[in-house]
Amino acid sequence: MDSADKTYKLFIEEFSSLEKSVYALLQKNIDYKDELEKLKEENLKLQKENEVLRETLSQFEGKRINGASTKIKAEDKENLKNQIDELISKIDFHLKS
């Protein structure tokens, strides 16, 4: 086998290796795009939940500010607190990932 054949064989091996690397990177890119879409959807969902909670809180504050004697039931307070805690946990999880 002469030098040209060795060089050609080496070139083909390097090219094949590079092709495999590019394919792997393309697959990772596709996976990352899919994950990004899922995170965007989750983010929109969390934003909507957050808006609902803000509206609920605003309504409660409005009742309190208007001097209404209606008090929030302990159960409603606990439910609202749990919803806020869940939302904070979800946001914290997404910020850490």
At 72 the pLDDT is: 65
pLDDT class of 93 with cuts at 50, 70, 90: confident
Backbone angles phi, psi at 67, to 5 degrees: 80, 15
Domain that includes residue 12, residue range: 3-96
Do 70 and 63 touch, CB atoms closer than 8 A? yes
Two tokens at 76? 């409603």
Question: For residues 13 and 21, what is the distance between their CA atoms, to the nearest angstrom?
Answer: 12
Total structural domains within the chain = 1
Largest CA distance in the chain: 97
At 14 the pLDDT is: 94
Two tokens at 12? 């083909």
Q: What is the pLDDT of residues 44-72, one digit of tens each?
A: 999 999 999 888 888 877 776 555 445 66
Q: What is the pLDDT of residues 20-39, one digit of tens each?
A: 999 999 999 999 999 999 99
**Which residue is it, tokens 């997404």?**
94
